[in-house]
């Protein structure tokens, strides 16, 4: 979708012939433009800004003193992502200040 270049791997065991671009040592360093774009795309796909903001507000209205670590875990479960992914998303949206 984002015109990324890289070594392609086709999993022959999957009938739909899914294609995966392999990660390398640079992938986890957040310096590769393609990886940054892919992460941003995935975050918006799995945790759309409008839905995340709405979910935060709903929870804070019900419980203004909601501890941030519990809010983070609750949102991660609601969006079916890891707590780390949700923490990054909330931080990037300016909603959450990491410890």
51 and 99 both lie in a single domain: yes
pLDDT of 55-73, one tens digit each?
999 999 999 898 988 999 9
> Do 10 and 17 touch, CB atoms closer than 8 A?
yes
62 and 40 both lie in a single domain: no
> Do 59 and 71 touch, CB atoms closer than 8 A?
yes
- The neighbour count for residue 60, using CB atoms within 10 Å, is 12
19 and 54 both lie in a single domain: no
pLDDT of 6-44, one tens digit each?
665 555 665 554 555 555 566 556 677 878 888 889 999
Q: Which domain holds residue 88?
A: 47-99
74 and 34 both lie in a single domain: no
Q: Is the pTM for the entire model greater than 0.85?
A: no
Judge residue 62's burial from the number of C-beta atoms within 10 Å of its C-beta, 0-12 exposed, 13-18 middle, 19 or more buried.
exposed
Q: How many structural domains does the chain have?
A: 2
């Amino acid at each position: 979708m984002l015109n990324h270049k890289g070594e392609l791997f086709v999993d022959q065991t999957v009938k739909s012939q899914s294609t995966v671009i392999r990660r390398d040592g640079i992938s986890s360093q957040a310096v590769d433009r393609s990886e940054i774009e892919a992460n941003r795309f995935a975050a918006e796909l799995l945790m759309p800004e409008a839905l995340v903001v709405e979910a935060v507000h709903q929870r804070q209205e019900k419980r203004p003193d909601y501890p941030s670590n519990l809010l983070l875990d609750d949102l991660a479960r609601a969006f079916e992502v890891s707590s780390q992914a949700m923490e990054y998303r909330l931080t990037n949206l300016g909603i959450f200040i990491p410890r």
